[in-house]
Amino acid sequence: MAGMTHNHNLAKHIVDAAFGEIFRELEYKAAWCGRSYLPLDRFFPSSKLCSSCGHLLDELPLSVREWDCPACGVHHDRDINAAINIKKAGQYLLKLKRTTGWDARKVTPTRNERRRSA
């Protein structure tokens, strides 16, 4: 969230959208319906990761809405490809959580986070 508000063209709209409240509500509703809420890392490369072969592009500007994978040649719509990758990542994390009990929200805090809380 904080990173997106540095873009002066989008900052007002981002803050108005109250994403923090949306995520909190999603987590609440998921728990209420007996579902899992599994947040992905903000830097997960959902748009520039080929959902067919797993090739990762070095760069993919926002202006590029469709692209062809240089490794396997599959044509991707940026948003559909991202949705497929997010679904696959969610399924993987859910399987990991069920088999090992691992929870992304309970990962050991970084050194900076420990320093701030002390």
Question: DSSP secondary structure string, 53-65?
Answer: T--B-S---TT--
- In three-state secondary structure terms, 77 is strand
Least Cα distance to 56 among 40, 44, 41 occurs for 44
Structure tokens at 29: 């509703």
Q: At residue 16, what are phi and psi to the nearest 5 degrees?
A: -65, -30
Residue 92 phi, psi dihedral angles, 5° rounding: -65, -45
State the Cα–Cα distance between residues 80 and 11, nearest whole angstrom.
25
The predicted pLDDT at position 40 comes to 86
Q: Tens place of pLDDT for every residue, the chain, 118 residues?
A: 555 556 666 666 666 667 778 888 999 999 999 988 888 888 899 999 999 999 999 999 999 999 999 999 999 999 999 999 999 999 998 888 888 877 766 654 554 454 454 4
- pTM of the full predicted structure? 0.68
Residue (of 88, 108, 113) closest to 38 by Cα position: 88
